[in-house]
Chains A and B, each alone.
Chain A
Amino acid sequence: MTSLVHSLMPEAILVVAALLVLGLGVSWPGARTPITATALIGGFAAAAAILLFPLDANLLDGMVVLNPLARIFKLVILGLGLAAAVFASESFPKNHFAESLALILFSTVGMMLLAGTEDLLMIFLALELTSIPLYALAAFDKESRSSAEAGMKYFLIGSVSAAFLLYGLSLIYGVAGSTSLRAISQLSGPPDPLLIAGIVLAVAGFAFKVAAVPFQLWAPDVYEGAPTAAAALIASGSKVAGVFILAKLLTSGLGQWAGAAGWGEFQAGWAPVLALMAAASIVLGNVTALVQSNVKRLLAYSAIAHGGYLLLGLCSASADGLTAVLFYVVIYALTTAGAFGVVAVVEKQRGGARLDDFDGLAKSSPVLALCLLVFFISLAGIPPLAGFIGKFYLFTSALANGQHLWLVVVAVAMNAVSLYYYLIVLKHAFVLPAPDDIRPADAPASQALVAALALAVLVLGLAPNLLLVPLMKPDAGKGARSMPCCARGMIDPPPHLATKRFSAGAPGAGY
């Protein structure tokens, strides 16, 4: 029992902070600064709890699991949640401000739980804890019709996908007889048709979280209509948690049913499903983004495309691919959170996020424009920024076993296309003249945070080892590269993981 308390200390602290925030909001409604400070202090205390008590634990048969990798992701998610809170503190409507911060914290707790579990039941519960506050946050701007539409859409499609997921997980449970991923990974023999159906349904449920085609329809309206700070959390934190748990479920729990997605050599399993969704997302996201005139909507289509890149990494089903996905999702989340931060500041300053609202940003707020440049160039995968290293690693690992050349060709080509729409936004910011009646941007905390995120993106681009090495650390002591480095951090791999999927053959075997 004590160990359970210890293991869930950060989450508990955050929940207490959220309750305090709610209490403050009731008793002292106008006080934005103390409310924000309470939330931030709670967040920092939770981070301190993670950092100061690095505990490895596996409780209640995998319900709560703590290991180095889970800790990294809890920290990242916590950071993204706090970033959303900072953006919210300067851009959310005054009414019910405390409730919005509390919702952000609750959702963050859900994401953190998601990063530290190996149990189907817990996965579903944590996912719901993540999603339900996000539905409310998307609809939080009561004076905006599009915010109401965003909330409604997100809620409807989200609950349908949750139903898919629940059904899928229950089928997997029915076949395996256990909700523990470790037990599921021990299954052997040819896959049961029920299991295949379960996997497909579960993947569909997660594809909604990642906004992969064909489950992407909600994304543009939600990103555009939701208050920007809420959109930032949906695009960053919830994506990190979703991708992390999808990666864990597929590679650790269901690794033996990956199948193959090589050109002309499809084998039934989840890899070909992911491969097709990845290719469709990359193409559709990038092509549709070309014609957008609202930057938040553009970021939504870019998010769809990036969801595709992440799935591409997953479907290589190799240890390197997994590290690459985890690396890239963190980079992407930092970048996109920063980009939404810039949008939040610009929206506050000029009242909108259309392309025209970015005119002459380089003149009116040069630092903000420079940060925007860093984020967008990173999203476009141009060195020396982190997004480039992330994509490079992702593509390299996808090609490492020689299977996915067709996917990499699609991804590289579409990545070149993507530069066009990022450049269009940057053109408005850097080339076009500013309108005359521009006030200087306020929101100092958001601006400082945006600058810090831009710096992080630059530093991680120049020194990717800062993040790569910790991600690979779980197997550092074991020495062997053939071991699944991330999977080791996820769960102790059963024998077939170390030998079958993850040995990945000699590099270049396909040539």
Chain B
Amino acid sequence: MILTATFLSAFAGAALILLLPERLAPLARGIALASALAGLAFAASAFAGYDRVGPHFQHLTQIPWIPSLGISFSTGADGISLVMLVLTGIIAVAGVLFSWNVSHRPRAFFAFYLTIIGGVYGVFQSFDIFLLFVFYEIVIIPKYFLIAAWGSTNREYGAMKLTIYSVAGSALVLLALIATYAASGAHSFDLFTLADPSKAHFTPSFQAWAFPVMFIGFAVLAGIWPLHTWAPTGHVAAPTAVSMLLAGVVMKLGSYSALRVAMTLFPQGLDQWRIPIAVLATAGIVFGALVALAQKDLKFTVGYSSIAHMGFVLLGLMTLNLAGLSGSVLQMFSHGIIGGLLFAVVGRMIYDRTHTRDIAELGTMNLSRSLPFAAFTFTVASVASMGLPGFSGFIAEFTILSGSWKAFPVLLIPAGIGVVITVAFTLRALQRTFFAPGEPQACAHPPAAITLPEKLGAALLMAATLLIGIHPSVLLTPILRSFESPLMKTVILEVTK
């Protein structure tokens, strides 16, 4: 019940905001914050209440929904779900704090915002794949409006491109979903039933086409190369809170669902396609990093860095060994926090004040002096993003790389190069934006000071990445345990080369 409360609180917040009369519109952000905090509290207490020695899947709820199609409202959580739910809670709260200054149609903004949050919470706890798909699709439409109506650069184009990519991806998923239902003969959308070979059997030839269709469908949302181009454009066009959501949790919907559904249902298809997908993931790491290196716009740099980091997630998934998989889940969390933080600094702290994101132009503004808190936050986020020890990014990427060493030693070379380029573009952006050499020009209009909500939001995100960096076992233990369950064990294939 505590799990369903997460998305119920988000949807209830959205409904409440829609019912607000016009003169009470400024209350919208307060309601949004309360709703996001409630969601975080529910997610965190579900995480804390997870019995580390009990059954793998806990907090289960199962209610028949459309029995004639074998669809039930079935939610629950293992360690992986809980990690993602807590991430969603953190990003949701931080996102509201960083959009405290939204004054243009705040009711609609926060109602759409909370709808996305609710959908994301729903995906991370659904164990009926129809239900999962319903939540997955709920996220699409609000994204469009949030970007098109409240965004910046090229917003209508960015919003439409992002939406079309999302919908194309989910069309692939829908197709695979229906085919899976028809082929299983189990008359059920329950993930546990479908993944149980004694109840539902998928022939190798079926898996050979259904797996790539479903996996790629999900992976579009995770920014798999070369279907990633929606992400930088969309991230850049989006308002700050939505960039944070997109990079922080929405991209993770893709990788999470790919792991949870596509990989568990079709182990044979997975086996056939893991090498090509791993190559695509590595290409994402390298090209994402290279393109980020060439950007003049700071937000584009961050946007392409997301592609590189999500490449690590997908690479980790394809290793099919415990280290790679658990590192991949950890990286989803870690990049969610760090990506959110980077977008918060670029979008809210800098762009809202300077109205430019051009790295060269920002360099002349002496930002480290005028916005010291922004400089500090961006430095922390960059250091975490580069994967320095002590932050969550290090432990996540390190585990992924050690998993890949066992699975694809050859791919480790380009992936390693990707890590180096990541360091290069991150340092470049950090140095040129905040610590540019040369005589700083006097700024005619000194930017407004960083507000308290921004500081709180940044502190929340920095604390999260630091905590996991220092004490990764908080998350790693439940993640590792999750891969022992009968459902998730199917994806592990210990390569003994």
Chain A positions within 8 Å of B, measured between CB atoms, are: 362, 370, 377, 382-384, 388-389, 392-393, 395-396, 399-400, 402, 405, 408-409, 412-413, 415-416, 419-420, 423, 426-427, 430-431, 464-465, 468-469, 472, 506-508, 511
Contacts and interface: CB of A to CB of B under 8 A. Distances in A.
B179 A384 contact: no
Nearest to B175: A412
Interface string B465-484: 00000000000000000000
B178 A395 contact: yes
B16 interface: no
Nearest to B112: A430
A427 B178 contact: no
B178 A377 contact: no
B431 interface: no
- A interface secondary structure, majority: helix
B211 interface: no
B182 A396 contact: yes
Nearest to B155: A431
B486 interface: no
A406 B364 CA distance: 59
Interface string B135-179: 001101100110011000000100010011001101100110011
A405 to B, nearest CB: 7
Contacts of B137: 382-383, 388
Contact of B66 (A416, A468, A507): A468
A382 B225 CA distance: 26
B148 A396 contact: no
Given A388-B134, A430-B148, 10 more contacts: A370-B18, A383-B138, A396-B181, A412-B174, A412-B175, A416-B168, A464-B66, A468-B68, A469-B68, A511-B203
Contact of A511 (B18, B133, B183): B183
A174 to B, nearest CB: 40
Contacts of A420: 160, 164
A431 B168 contact: no
Interface string B36-71: 000000000000000000000000000001111100
A413 B187 contact: no
A388 B205 CA distance: 29
By Cβ-Cβ distance, the 6 closest A-B pairs, closest first, are A416-B171, A383-B134, A399-B182, A508-B183, A431-B149, A431-B148
Interface residues of B, number: 39
Contacts of A382: 137-138, 140-141
Contacts of B134: 383-384, 388
B206 interface: yes
Contacts of B148: 427, 430-431
B364 to A, nearest CB: 34
B197 interface: no
B141 A377 contact: yes
B66 A362 contact: no
Contacts of A396: 69, 178, 181-182
30 contacts: A362-B108, A370-B18, A382-B137, A382-B140, A384-B134, A392-B130, A395-B178, A396-B181, A399-B179, A402-B182, A402-B183, A412-B171, A416-B164, A416-B168, A416-B170, A419-B163, A423-B160, A423-B163, A426-B145, A427-B148, A431-B145, A431-B148, A431-B156, A465-B68, A468-B68, A472-B68, A507-B182, A507-B187, A511-B183, A511-B206
B144 A423 contact: yes
A419 B159 CA distance: 13
Contacts of A413: 171
Residue among A370, A423, A465 with the most chain B CB within 10 A?
A423
Residue among B144, B179, B181, B184 with the most chain A CB within 10 A?
B179
A348 B63 CA distance: 45
Contacts of B26: none
A68 to B, nearest CB: 16
Contacts of B409: none
A508 B178 contact: no
Contacts of B175: 408-409, 412
Nearest to A461: B134
A23 to B, nearest CB: 45
A392 to B, nearest CB: 7
Contacts of A419: 163-164, 167
